[in-house]
Amino acid sequence: MLAIDGVAKAFGGLRVLVDVSFAVGRGETLGLIGPNGAGKTTLFNVITGFLSPDRGGVRFAGTDIVGMKPDQRVRAGLVRTFQKSMVFPELSARENIALAARARRGAGYRWRSSASVTAEADGAAEALLGRARLGHRADEKVGNLSYGDQRIVDVLISLAMAPKLLLLDEPTAGLARQEAERLVELVRNHDDEVAIILIAHDLDIVFGACDRVAVLDLGRLIAIDTPAGIRAHAGAQAAYLGTLAEAS
């Protein structure tokens, strides 16, 4: 689904990504971990088109996408969430998600669109909220929901865009363990075909939810392996000061 080949990115003299290569398969969940400043979000920005790599290739579903605009990538199925919530707090949960579903169907963010598009988008929002056990809060302004439920709505917005590859940038930050697990399960159970890259600092969450884990350190990919393989990896251990072995 995604192939990164020799990607490099520098800001002035600071080399933030150095010759990064890896691939993610259809339906695979890959964890992306690394200390603060390792380059994780920068890598997401390169994959989603917010930044151009200085060097290297990015292929999505077999197509070279370097040069493709971020919105074109979203329409092709390459969807991301951001560290900061992107919800409209004054709109209801249903409206937030339905807007994303409409945008995905090419109806844009216009308030007025054909009745069938509106009904279809509302139905998609309803179904997603039901799956997240938030059906009873569908008409609540998102700003009135708990922080954990707002992060769930963020994820539902990204799922409404029908991703083939979903990039999640610290969706569980600030959540209690149970809330974090609920959010990750929701994404994983959505569709077996969707590939996911999950950035999270909670190693228990990453190791529990991911098929493989990639470790970035100072912009270099120092390891990519199963959770068990990463736990046993000397370089990954060094980057994490030995705390990896304790993660479940």
Binding site for ligand ATP (CB under 6 A): 11, 14, 16, 34, 36-42
CB of 13 to ligand ATP, least distance (A): 10
Helix (H) or strand (E) holding 213: strand 212-217
Nearer Cβ to ligand ATP, position 34 or 49?
34
Nearer Cβ to ligand ATP, position 195 or 215?
215
CB of 143 to ligand ATP, least distance (A): 25
Residue in the structure block whose two tokens are 């200390």:
35
Neighbouring CB atoms inside 10 A of 223's CB total 21
DSSP 215-248: EEETTEEEEEE-HHHHHT-HHHHHHTTT-GGG--
Dist. CA 11–CA 147, nearest whole Å: 33
Nearer Cβ to ligand ATP, position 37 or 57?
37
Nearer Cβ to ligand ATP, position 11 or 147?
11
Nearer Cβ to ligand ATP, position 42 or 96?
42
CB of 240 to ligand ATP, least distance (A): 13
Cβ 79 vs Cβ 49: under 8 Å: no
CB of 70 to ligand ATP, least distance (A): 15
CB of 179 to ligand ATP, least distance (A): 20
CB of 160 to ligand ATP, least distance (A): 25
Pick the closest to residue 5 from 23, 32, 30 (CA basis).
23
Cβ neighbors of 207 (< 8 A, separation 6 or more) are 31, 213, 227, 230, 231, 247, 248
Nearer Cβ to ligand ATP, position 42 or 48?
42
Residues paired with residue 22 on neighbouring β-strands, in sequence order:
4
Residue in the structure block whose two tokens are 């950035």:
199
Alpha-carbon distances, residue 168 vs 41, 56, 113, 183, 232 (angstroms): 10, 22, 30, 11, 25
CB of 191 to ligand ATP, least distance (A): 26
Nearer Cβ to ligand ATP, position 138 or 239?
239
Query: Cα 27 from chain centroid?
Result: 14
